[in-house]
Amino acid sequence: MSSDATPDPYTDPMAFGQRMQILRTKRGLSRPVAAGLLGMSPSWVKQVERGEIGMPKLPIVLRIAELLRVRDLSDLTGDQSAPVELFTGPGHSRLPAVRDAVNALTLNTDQAAPPTEHLAARLAKAWTARHEAPNHREVLGELLPGLIRDAQLAVRQTDSASARRAAQAVLSEVYSLAQFFIAYQPDPALLWRVAERGMVAAQESEDPHAIGVAAWLAAQAHRDTGPSHFDAADSMTLEALAYMERFLSEADDRVRALAGALQFEAAYTAARRGENGAAWGWWDKAKATSKKLPPSYYHPVTSFSRAIMGAHAVTVAVELRAGGESVRQAVAADATAIPSRPRLARHRIEEARAYHLDGQSETAIATLERAHEAAPETIRYNGYARRIVLEETESKHPARRQRAAVLADQLGLLAA
């Protein structure tokens, strides 16, 4: 390796500031940008990275960890005695079985594949089960291995071009379902492998819905990888929107909803960049698309609907770091209209981020408790929720500290 290569912050012991600088550089963030997002000055960032200021207190460390999307807190602090995973949640007990199903070749088998129509019906039931279950990862982890194997077999055993396209569409959306299970678990390579296979199968299917879903998920994967991938996220979103435009005049509600979901993804990425006008402009477009859907319609994959737009507004405001506006949108949003338990829990987490950003920590903790009631497996794997809970375990207010400690225990954050 070249002597001027970027060192790996996870191997040799080094100071907090050195780790912060290396991780910031790998994220593609300049000091001024990082400082602005942290609410600090560029000179403060420089002093910390040079070791002129010691490691900050936990609330600031957690803000830095969120910004740099570290795998666990010890990657930033260097303290390996009690690693705390943040944006990578714990590995689910069913992850190995799902991984094995993805990696299997299904070449040497005498098993006959189920009809594509049967697979599509099973897939629809799996999506319904996910939305209804508080332990949705457990439910998906049980269903996915069989669905993946059967969908792979269906593609291999087709006897015509049209049948193969139909089977590829189902396989693509099975991979999309798998991404909801694998996300934020400690196997990013598996997540990207499934995302890429889903996109290939979608393109082979020539089905606009399958293509839209695969692009929607790929854009999220790029955005969550960090600022250096924001352009890739935008490219994926805009290309998919341009492709789907030709179908919208005669599209069914599923395809129209996907266009709206992609418009919101553009808003989300713009908000992550700090582009206020672009973010709300794309949100307005998504809102207009939602009004073309029936009032009760709810897309089974993206959750896009009229009901979700309030939740989306909270996310845009939070990502723009607008505390007062975030709370205003949280108060205005109708959470009771969200029928999916995991999506409701995700919205509660976004509300908690809004209140925490606005300095309303007591309300933030109460809102995270409501997220846990809706879907424990959502909050357990959410880095933002974990960061807020950990920060509040250091609160100077005993009652708030106690509530945060209970949540931290429920989320597995106190395990050594």
Structure-block tokens of residue 47: 């002093």
376 close to 135: Cβ distance less than 8 angstroms: yes
Task: Detail the DSSP E strand segments found in 305-416.
Answer: none
Give the CA distances from residue 265 to residues 145, 221, 240, 312, in Å, rounded to whole numbers and listed in that order: 29, 11, 11, 10
**Selection from 218, 169, 173 nearest residue 191 by Cα:** 218
For the chain, the distance separating the N- and C-terminal CA atoms, rounded to the nearest angstrom, is: 35
Question: What is the length of the chain?
Answer: 416
pLDDT in tens, 237-259: 999 999 999 999 888 999 999 99
pTM score: 0.84
Tokens of 214: 């695969």
CA dihedral 110, 111, 115, 118 (to 10 degrees): -170
Question: Tell me, what DSSP letter sits at residue 14?
Answer: -
User: Is residue 87 in some structural domain?
Assistant: no
**Tens digits of residue pLDDT in 46-78:** 999 988 888 888 878 888 888 887 777 777 888
Report the C-alpha gap between 47 and 198 in whole angstroms.
45
Q: Is residue 48 part of a domain?
A: yes
Q: Is 46 exposed, middle or buried (0-12, 13-18, 19+ CB in 10 A)?
A: middle
Q: What is the pLDDT of residue 12?
A: 46
Calculate the alpha carbon distances from 54 to 48, 51, 61, 77, 78 in Å: 6, 6, 11, 11, 13
Distance CA 87, CA 73 (A): 9
Q: Is residue 120 part of a domain?
A: no
* C-alpha separations of 236 from 182, 214, 301, 333, 393 in Å: 21, 10, 18, 29, 39
Q: Is 31 exposed, middle or buried (0-12, 13-18, 19+ CB in 10 A)?
A: middle
- The token duo for 130 is 């996910």
Establish how many alpha carbons lie within 13 A of residue 2's alpha carbon, considering only the half-sphere containing its beta carbon: 3
Residue 101 lies in a domain: no
Which range marks the domain in which residue 51 is found? Answer: 16-77
| Helix orientation angle between 161-182 and 95-103, rounded to the nearest 10 degrees | 150
Instruction: Say which residue the tokens 């909270």 belong to.
Output: 314
- The one-letter amino acid code at 386 reads R
Interatomic CA distance for residues 339 and 329, integer angstroms: 19
Number of domains the chain contains:
1
pLDDT of residue 88: 66
Residue 20 within a domain: yes
What is the maximal distance between C-alpha atoms in the chain? 69
CATH classification of the domain holding 60: 1.10.260.40
Residue 32 in any domain: the answer is yes
Domain assignment present for 59: yes
Going by the DSSP 8-state scheme, the letter that residue 160 receives in this structure is S
Number of neighbours of residue 170 by Cβ within 10 angstroms? 25
Stretches where the chain sits below pLDDT 50 are 1-7, 9-12, 416
Q: In this structure, how many other beta carbons lie within 10 angstroms of the beta carbon of residue 305? A: 25
For residue 373, being part of any structural domain is answered with no
The Cα–Cα gap between 122 and 154 comes to 13
C-alpha 290: how far from chain center: 22
